[in-house]
Amino acid sequence: MNSRRHFIKSTGLLAAASLFTPTEVLSQNLISEKGKIKPPALKAGDTVAITSPAGAVWDDTQVETFTTILKSFGFNVIHGKTLTEKFGYFAGTDELRSNELNELFADKTVKGIFCMKGGWGCARLLDKIDYTLIEKNPKVLIGFSDITALLIAITTKTGLITFHGPVGNSGWNDFTKSVFTNVTMTTNSFHFPENPSTENAPVIINPGKATGELVGGNLTVLSSLIGSGYLPDWKNKLLFLEEVKEEPYSIDRMLTQLKLSGILNSISGFVFGKFAKCLAEEPLKSFTFHEVLLQHIQPLGIPAFYGAMIGHIENKLTVPIGIKASMDAEKGTISLDENSVV
């Protein structure tokens, strides 16, 4: 923001500042994106860590269950201190949670970092993370919901590919495990499988195909970061979003924010995941979720669909942030055009 004010002052264009388009205004707040860094593929025998950078863990049995799941992949598992800390609704203070994340990236024996749960709190860590350290120690970082803030910020500032996928208290069924394995433990490109259930099949908003780098996550978290400097340049990106328990008016408000900030006019394709339980409290006085999507996305004229297996659902995709991908809105499919790990 300071650089923008300096630019206006030094060039004598203060009176013309109001002529900037939303995209131009947004670009003044962006951190330059780094070159792409792919983390080493996870493999059996690796040591991985479980941390909770957001909400406090109130059920110890969930940690035990998740530890057993990770061990089923052949991983050795260590636990962060945040799994037992309580500070209000956080898993410890901001300093403790950010320090633990920095320490896990610095630890050469740790090959992957798994987040135990979402909640709220990751955005409070963004100015306390050592991005230079992370850039020099690439490894798999995975989570979703509130973890969106960490994933997007780290990928934007370091170039490290991060992974929007299940957290520790998610359901890790066979479908979810299979996709996780294909994305983080093999070095092949990957075509995401179609929904194994015939219910809630993908719905076309605008037909067509598009390519671009996948970036996205939870709508509430992403929209709250606008203007923070931790979001990427959105040109030619495939934006994917998910949400849970938000009414249509709330989704409308956040999509409006994405539009006014210039994000929606920059992307090449749009993928909505499952917006679980996003129903109006008073349906007769509200638009439906579907109507809100059509109002915001159809006029863009870009390929778009909703119903992808992303978000607070049982069958969950692991989606790499920063990887080039292709989408087919008519078929409701996404394909990774390159490997996510090396």
State the CATH number of the domain containing residue 157: 3.40.50.10740
Among 170, 243, 247, 312, the one annotated catalytic? 312
Tell me, yes or no, whether 71 and 10 share the same domain. Answer: no
The boundaries of the domain holding residue 170 are: 47-184
pLDDT, residue 321, reads 98
Same domain, 4 and 97: no
Contact 98, 129 (CB under 8 A): yes
Identify whether 231 is part of a domain. Answer: yes
Per-residue confidence (pLDDT) for residue 281, from 0 to 100: 79
For residue 289, the model assigns a pLDDT of 86
Per-residue pLDDT at 33: 58
- Residue 200 confidence (pLDDT): 66
Are both 57 and 24 inside the same structural domain? no
pLDDT in tens, the chain (342 residues): 444 344 333 444 333 433 434 444 343 333 445 799 999 999 999 999 999 999 999 999 999 999 999 999 999 999 999 999 999 999 999 999 999 999 999 999 999 999 999 999 999 999 999 999 999 999 999 999 999 999 999 999 999 999 999 999 999 999 999 999 999 999 988 999 877 666 668 899 999 999 999 999 999 999 999 999 999 999 999 999 999 878 999 999 999 999 999 999 999 999 998 777 777 778 888 899 889 999 999 999 999 999 999 988 889 999 999 999 999 999 999 999 999 999
The active-site residue out of 213, 242, 246, 247 is 242
Residue 141 sits in the same domain as residue 58: yes
Asked if residue 189 belongs to a domain, the reply is no
Question: Exactly one of 52, 98, 100, 145 is catalytic; which is it?
Answer: 145
**Is residue 198 assigned to a domain?**
no
Angstrom distance (rounded) from CA 4 to CA 14: 10
Within this chain, do residues 106 and 207 fall inside the same structural domain, yes or no? no
Residues 88 and 139 grouped into a single domain? yes
State how many domains the chain has: 3
In the beta sheet, which residues pair with residue 204? 305
The pLDDT assigned to 14 comes to 37
Q: Are strands 110-115 and 47-51 parallel, antiparallel or unpaired?
A: parallel
216 in any annotated domain: yes
Q: What is the pTM of this model?
A: 0.89
Residue 197 lies in a domain: no
pLDDT, residue 24, reads 42
**Domain boundary residue, one of 153, 184, 215:** 184
- We report the CATH number of the domain holding residue 274 as 3.50.30.60
Asked if 138 and 229 sit in the same domain, the reply is: no
Query: What b-and-e string marks burial along 10-32, b requiring 16 or more CB atoms within 10 Å of the CB?
Result: eeeeeeeeeebeeeebbbbbeee
Active site residue 242: yes
**Segment (H or E) for 59:** none
Q: Are residues 141 and 213 in the same domain?
A: no
Q: Is 291 annotated in the active site?
A: no
> Is 179 found in the same domain as 57?
yes
Q: Give domain status of residue 298, yes or no.
A: yes
